[in-house]
Amino acid sequence: MARTQKKVDAVIVGLGWVGSVMAMELTAAGLDVVALERGPDRKTVPTFAYPKIADELRYAVRYELMQRPADSTVTIRHNTGQTALPYRRLGSFLPGTGVGGAGAHWNGLLWRPNAEELRLKSYIDERFGADIIPDDMTIQDFGVDYDELEPYFDRFEKIVGVSGKAGNLNGAIMDGGNPFEAPRASEYPMPPLEQTYDAVLFAEAARNLGYHPFPKPAANASQVYTNPYGMQLGPCNYCGFCERFGCLNYSKSSPQTCVLDALYQRQNFEYRTNATVLKVELAPDGKTATGVTYADAKGEEVFQPADLVILAAFQLNNVHLMLLSGIGPPYDPATGAGAVGRNYAYQMTGATSLFFKNIDFNPFVGAGANGVAFADLALSQMDFAKNGFIGGGYQSSQQTNGQPIHHLPLPDGTPAWGAGWKKAVGEHYGHSMDIVLQSTNMPYRDAYLDLDPTYRDPFGRPLLRMTFDWRPNELKQAQFFKEKAAEFGREMGADASSSFYPDGHYDTRVYQSTHTVGGAIMGTDRQTSAINRYLQSWDVHNVFAPGANAFPQNFEYNPTGMIGALTLWAARAIREDYLANPRPLM
Partner 1 sequence: MTDFAIDRRDLLLNGVASVAILALGGLAPAMAQAGPDTLENYKPVYFDAAEWAFVMAATDRLIPADGEGPGALATLVPRFIDRQLAGDFGKASRWYMQGPHDPDASPLFGFQLAQTPAEIYRIAIPEVDAHCRTTYGETFAALSDADKDAVLHDLETGEVDLKTVPAADFFAMLLANTKEGYFADPRYGGNHGMQAWTYIGFPGARASFREWVGQQNTPYPLGPVSIGGERA
Partner 2 sequence: MRLQILITALALTAGSAFAADETETGEYIAQLGDCAACHTAPGGAPFAGGLAIASPFGDIYTTNITPDPQYGIGDYTLEEFDRAVRRGVRKDGANLYPAMPYTSYAKVSDADMAALYAYFMKAVAPVHKPAPASDLRFPFNIRFGMEGWDIVNRPEVGFTPPYDDAQLNRGAYIVEGLGHCGACHSPRNLMQAQEGYTAASDRFLTGGTLGVWPVPDLRGPESAPQKWSDAELVEYLTTGRNAYTAATGEMALVVERSMQHATEADMDAIVAYLKHIGLPAAGSDKAAATGAGRSDDTTAMLTAAKPDMPEGARLYLDNCGACHTVSGQGAPRVFPNLVGNSLVLSDNPGGFIEVILKGAMMPSTRRAPAALAMPGFGDRLSDDDVAALASFIRSAWTNDADKIEAETVKKIRGQL
Of 87-116, binders to partner 1 (CB under 8 A) are: 87-89, 91
Residue 250 near which of partner 2, partner 1, none (CB within 5-8 Å, type-dependent): partner 2
Contact of 377 with 227, CB cutoff 8 Å: no
Residue 311: helix, strand or coil by DSSP? strand
Per CB under 8 A, which region of 256-264, 376-384, 429-437, 445-453 contacts partner 2?
Answer: 256-264
Is residue 414 within a helix (H) or strand (E), and if so which, with residue range? none
365 binds, among partner 2, partner 1, none (CB under 5 to 8 A by kind): partner 1
Which of 57, 83, 186, 264 is in the footprint of partner 2 by CB under 8 A? 264
Q: Which is nearer to partner 2, 59 or 142 (CB)?
A: 59
Residue 264's CB: how many other CB atoms inside 10 A?
Answer: 10
- Is residue 513 part of the contact set for partner 2 (CB under 8 A)? no
Q: Which residue among the candidates 105, 407, 515, 541 is catalytic per the annotation?
A: 515
> Which residue in 144, 248, 302, 309 binds partner 1 (CB under 8 A)?
248
- CB 306 to partner 1: min, Å: 31
139 vs 221, beta carbon nearer partner 2: 221
Burial of 80 (C-beta count, 10 Å sphere; 0-12/13-18/19+):
exposed
Among 22, 33, 76, 521, binds partner 1 (CB under 8 A): 76
Residue 515 annotated as catalytic: yes
265 binds partner 2 (CB under 8 A): yes
Interface residue with partner 2, options 55, 261, 296, 495 (CB under 8 A): 261
Element (H, E) at 405: none
Q: Which one, 70 or 283, has the nearer CB to partner 1?
A: 70
Task: Write the CA distances from 505 to 470, 473, 475, 510, integer angstroms.
Answer: 6, 13, 9, 12
For the residues of 428-487, what is the DSSP string, one character each? HTTSEEEEEEEE-B--BTT-EEEEEEEEE-TTSPEEEEEE----HHHHHHHHHHHHHHHH
CB atoms closer than 10 angstroms to residue 393:
28
> Residues 249, 253, 396, 473: which binds partner 2 (CB under 8 A)?
249
Burial 326-349 (b: 16+ CB within 10 A, else e): ebbbbbebeeeebbbbbbbbbbbb
Residue of 98, 235, 391, 393 interacting with partner 1 (CB under 8 A):
235
Q: Within 10 A of 223 (CB to CB), how many other CB atoms are there? A: 14
- Residue 416, C-beta contacts closer than 8 angstroms, at least 6 positions apart: none
Per CB under 8 A, the list member of 4, 40, 50, 483 interacting with partner 2 is 50
46 sits near partner 2 (criterion: CB under 8 A): yes
| 144-to-118, 328, 348, 391, 535 alpha-carbon distances in Å | 7, 21, 24, 20, 10
CA distance 127 to 125: 6
Contact of 574 with 544, CB cutoff 8 Å: yes
Total residues at interface with partner 1 (CB under 8 A): 68
Pairing between β-strand 168-169 and β-strand 172-173 as defined by DSSP bridges: antiparallel
Distance in angstroms (rounded) separating the CA atoms of residues 160 and 162: 6
226 binds, among partner 2, partner 1, none (CB under 5 to 8 A by kind): partner 2
What's the min distance (Å) between Cβ of 559 and partner 1? 24
Taking contact as CB under 8 A, which single stretch among the options 48-56, 92-100, 153-161, 168-176 is the one that binds partner 2?
A: 48-56
Applying CB under 8 A, does 30 fall inside the site for partner 2? no
Q: How far is the CB of 218 from partner 1 (least distance, A)?
A: 13
Stretch 177-236 residues interacting with partner 2 (CB under 8 A): 223-224, 226, 229-235
Is residue 503 at the binding interface for partner 1, with CB under 8 A as the rule?
A: no
54 forms part of the interface with partner 1 (CB under 8 A): yes
Note whether 316 and 74 are within 8 A (CB).
Answer: yes
Among 140, 220, 257, 395, binds partner 2 (CB under 8 A): 257
What amino acid occupies position 136? D
Other C-beta atoms lying within 10 Å of the C-beta of residue 75: 21
Residue 453 CB coordination number (10 Å):
11
Residues that bind partner 1 (CB under 8 A): 50-57, 61-63, 68-70, 73, 76, 78, 83, 85-89, 91, 194-197, 200, 235-241, 248, 359-362, 364-366, 402-405, 408, 416-419, 421-423, 425-426, 429-430, 454-456, 505-509
Residues that bind partner 2 (CB under 8 A): 43-46, 49-51, 223-224, 226, 229-235, 237, 239, 248-250, 257, 261-262, 264-265, 267
Question: Which residues are known to be catalytic?
Answer: 515
